[in-house]
Amino acid sequence: MSVPETIIFTRGVPATESFPTEDMAIAAQEAIRAHGDTILQYGSAFGFQPLREWLAKWHDADAENVLCSNGSLQIIEFICTLLLQTNSRTVFVEAPTYDRTITILRKYGAEIVSIPLQSDGPDMAALEAALRKHRPRFFYIIPDFQNPAGATCSGEKRRQLVALAREHGFLLLEDSPYRELRYRGEAQPCLRELAPEKVMQFSSFSKLIGPGPRLGYVIGPQNLLKEIAREAENNYITPGLLAHGSVYEFCRAGKLPAQIEKLKKLYAPRLEATLTALDEYLPESEPTRPDGGFFLSLTLPEGVTTMDVRARAAEVNLQLADGRGFFADGGGERFLRLPFCALTPQQLQVGVARLADVVRRTA
């Protein structure tokens, strides 16, 4: 008897078939030929200058306000080194939030306060109550197609967030690697556009081209970028300029818009397939219905924990993540994140059918 294929719902990785392999091969060659003297050498911690300029134009910012690094997660780590070296180490995050950021925050001794996330962004009453008790250094927030919940922050909450950041003097760390992957609806302004002096906005090519080049960047106030650059220099002798140059050539050749369209065409039906399968096999689950990104999430029925479901799921070749990892202050026992981009619609249907069966047997 053949063993059923393992369906992996644990990792938010891009689909392998989404990689623009041929165009990146051309871009890498072009980059080495045109910029070899610079990108085969050590370079500035701010990153490859033509890429900074290209990104600044794309994001309607100044090149001085852009720093390109080796992945966006590492920049968050640099910020923790800079901002959490004092006695005041309180930071706010959404609950749930990106588990790797929680790990980094803990590594730097942050005192993490969780603000519950609603379908349209952070619970503002809870945020205001937390601000009466704490003075955070920053609020780490993923406003677009949040990882892990799939929620997008409303325009009204974005404006309230920047008003609170100004009033209470904290920074907003806006992590936005999924922002370009909108499958329906209208984009809201990013927090940085609303308050450039109060926001460090991160993004990355990990979800647009691939995670391999490790190309992340931050747009923010120049004084902070200078400190981040110093911190980067203390960590690595040079950013990965070969990747910077290759991605620059890819973008300069005008390939990015078509690549983003390709991703949307590939991923939107995968989101739909997951929701259709949930409606059919697990109609009581009330999943989030994101307008883009990589993830949707749901709360398992009362009395059914993700831990129990995970153990049983593993027996039928279904891999699920432990929901508790996304909650910094406890909770998440019944939380389930479903990353849908790296599975085909058929695999998603099979995965959700298996999930429904396991949930029924666990209840």
Q: Which residue ranges make up the site for ligand PLP (CB under 6 A)?
A: 12, 71-73, 98, 142, 147, 175, 177, 204, 206, 211, 216
Least separation in angstroms between residue 102's CB and ligand PLP is 11
Q: What is the DSSP letter of 325?
A: G
- Quick one: how many helices (H) and strands (E) in the chain? 12, 12
Please, which residues have CB within 8 angstroms of residue 149's CB and are 6 or more apart in sequence?
A: 94, 96, 117, 288, 295, 297, 337
Between residues 325 and 356, which has the closer beta carbon with respect to ligand PLP? 325
Nearest to residue 290, comparing CAs of 91, 148, 127, 114? 148
Closest to ligand PLP by CB, 147 or 362:
147
What count of other Cβ atoms lies within 10 Å of the Cβ of residue 128? 13
Instruction: Please say which residue, 12 or 122, places its beta carbon nearer to ligand PLP.
Output: 12
Q: Scan for tokens 């450039």, then name that residue.
A: 196
Question: Whole-angstrom Cα distance, residue 174 to residue 161?
Answer: 11
Of 122 and 216, which CB lies nearer to ligand PLP in the complex structure?
Answer: 216
| Residue 198 near residue 224 (C-beta atoms within 8 A) | no
Strands 138-141 and 121-122 come out as unpaired
Nearer to ligand PLP, 109 or 212 (CB): 212
Residue found under tokens 């995970």: 310
CB of 240 to ligand PLP, least distance (A): 12
Shortest distance in whole angstroms from residue 69 CB to ligand PLP: 9
Closest approach of Cβ 214 to ligand PLP, in Å?
7
- The nearest distance, CB 213 to ligand PLP, in angstroms, is 9
